[in-house]
Structure 1
């Protein structure tokens, strides 16, 4: 651009500014980048460190006072956003013995991945899912849910929500039931019995009681871990993913929720994946074993129950020092629905 043009353009910009007009040509490359350049950073939260802070919070504020006693895992590259990626939220929630986190519902969809304790529950529309370590429990948007802990030990789980996605669309609503718990509608485990065995009640029958598009909300560790081990015993391993299984919505074979996908992986001891990148920012939880995640030029150690975030379009290589089992969730569901998702094996 000739130097003599710049002063004239600057005067034009100043004249336009009060009328909320901006020149696209000054920002086109930032608005339409050649490839994703996420401000989110690769990061690891050590479970032991986070747990110590969470237990301190448990001494200072009750679940009822807090409504949800949670420590947010905010990505250091996204300060002030409460996001672990641009589109997802993550936090660790604590329910102490005898506590109930009051019943509410909201537009945001959530998953709970249990990290510690046994016997607490998440109730969805009045049905309890009794939780064990590494169970996956869903609370889809708009459904009443509360949490309780009748056991004698603390319960800690990872909350994964689409809060930043809902905020992007300015589409968030929330409502309190006005009671600590939803009245019980059916016995615990009823949904698993009806929808959890690759079968379902015939649609329209009196037994078909769950929402048509999201019938199942409890995926037990005992079942997914057995399936993953069975596949690993006979299937050829994928060089970029290891052995991997995706959690499915039995209604349509798609992702577990409209905005969130989830999967598990198993890497045998000594196995190292080839580098791979994808546009879905992904949150990993180490279920078992130890290893390393190579994220670009950074190496992050992996230990049981640690949480690691891999930003969009960041090359990931996984190394397993011992047999390594991982749980992961991402915004892949949203991206596929919007025709945005891409992946690349490097």
Structure 2
């Protein structure tokens, strides 16, 4: 290219910048790539490494002070953005015996996946549920919610759970609102378990008409989920990529339980060596039971109970386990589905 042409282009680009314009031909390949080119990287967090810092935070800051005492899991490539993928947030929350994490509400949808401890509860719009390890609990967008730890059956111990929210997604749309309640704890207006009694047995109240996009069940007990996985392990075919994988559903629609976040539980049977698969939805995993290894792209990680890892968009993932392992996961798949941009591949090797 002649030097005069280069200079003329530079002059043109400078003039364009003064008018807040830019030439598409300079960035087209980055804007419309041949395949996803996420800035996110695979990342792994060993729970046993995190837990001492979480407990130290419990000594230094109260739940009331912090509002939510959480250590955020940040993707190493997104430092400072409080994001595990470009659309999802994840963090580990601690509540100690006798504490209350005060009531508030916000636009962002949230999930809780309980990792350890007994005695804590969460209250959502007047209904309280006791939290047990492995339970998946939803806080729908715009609902009042608080957490507390009052012990159970004389047992009071620290309780830790995984938070998953669509914070980066809502931030992208500039659509976030939040409000603090005037009381630290809500008045309980419905008996514990009433939502599950109404909707958790493939039934619904005869006068119920589906409202909203979030499941009317806000607590999915691990005991029921584990029973289903065990039954399928005995007599169902083992998927070569997923093992035995179930998705949580909205009982009224059969769709996703949350409008922006998909949730799953899968069992990888002893000796399972899975084939790689990939999808456009970035996925966060948490190990509930068992040990094994996961390969994400070109990296491999050995995992055990309560460890966490993230699989970025369009990056192949496969599992191998020497013993039964159970994994919870969540992703932004409902949004990909709704926009018609979901793509996935199941590879042979």
- Deviation for aligned residue 1:308: 0.6
Aligned counterpart, 1:63 = 63
1:232 counterpart residue number: 233
Of the three residues 169, 172, 175, the one matched with 1:171 is 175
- Tell me the residue number matched to 2:25: 25
**CA–CA distance in structure 1, aligned partners of residues 3 and 267 of structure 2:** 59
Aligned: 1:339 with 2:340: yes
| Distance in 2 separating the partners of 1:212 and 1:335 | 16
1:229-275 alpha-carbon deviations (Å, 9 max, x no partner): 11111111111111110000111001110000011111111111101
Find the residue that maps to 2:78 and give its secondary structure. Answer: coil
Mapped partners of 2:309, 2:129: distance in 1: 26
Alpha-carbon distance between aligned partners in 2 of 1:178 and 1:312, rounded to the nearest angstrom: 41
- TM-superposed CA distance for 1:214, in Å, is 2.9
CA contact (8 A) 2:115 2:306 kept: yes
Equivalent residue number for residue 52 of structure 2 = 52
Q: Distance in 1 between matches of 2:60 and 2:213?
A: 42
Q: CA deviation at 1:18?
A: 1.6
After TM superposition, the structure 1 = structure 2 runs for residues 266-345 of structure 1, keeping only pairs within 5 Å, are 266-345=267-346
Match of 2:185 in 1: 181
Comparing 177-186 with 19-28, greater Cα deviation is found at 177-186
Match of 1:14, SS? helix
TM-score (norm 1): 0.97
Q: 1:307 offset after TM fit, Å?
A: 0.5
Deviation at 1:321, TM superposition (A): 1.7
Question: TM-score, normalising length from structure 2?
Answer: 0.96
> Whole-Å Cα distance in 1 between the matches of residues 243 and 315 of structure 2?
18
Partner of 1:202: 206
Distance 1:3 1:228, change over 3 A: farther
* Partner deviation per Cα, 1:191-250 (whole Å, 9 max, x = no partner): 11111111110235xxx7986853111100000010011111111111111111000011
Q: Closer, same or farther in 2 for the Cα pair 1:157/1:210, shift >3 Å?
A: farther
Instruction: State the superposition RMSD in angstroms.
Output: 1.4
Distance 2:299 2:116 in 1: 29
Q: In structure 2, what is the Cα distance between the partners aligned to 1:317 and 1:305? A: 18
Q: How does 1:75-154 map to 2 (within 5 A)?
A: 75-151=75-151, 152-154=156-158
- Contact conserved, 1:111 with 1:138, CA < 8 A, in 2? yes
Checking the alignment, whether the CA contact within 8 Å between 1:213 and 1:251 is kept in structure 2 is: no
Partner deviation per Cα, 1:66-104 (whole Å, 9 max, x = no partner):
000000000001112110011000000000001000000
Distance, in Å, in 1 between the alignment partners of 2:67 and 2:118 is 21
Question: 2:328 aligns to what SS in structure 1?
Answer: strand
Q: How far apart in 2 are the matches of 1:3 and 1:147?
A: 67
Shift of 1:119: 2.4
Given the superposition, is the C-alpha separation of residues 249 and 339 from structure 1 closer, same or farther in structure 2, using an over 3 Å criterion?
Answer: same
Deviations 1:269-328 (A, max 9, x none): 111110111111000011111110011211111111000100000011100121111000
Cα separation, 1, equivalents of 2:166 and 2:47 = 22
The answer to whether the aligner puts 1:191 opposite 2:195 as a matched pair is yes
TM-superposed deviation, 1:2:
5.4
CA contact (8 A) 1:114 1:134 kept: yes
* Structure 1, unpaired ranges of 5+: none
The verdict on how the C-alpha distance between 1:319 and 1:58 changes in structure 2, with shifts beyond 3 A counting, is same
Would the aligned equivalents of 2:214 and 2:258 in 1 still touch at CA under 8 Å?
no
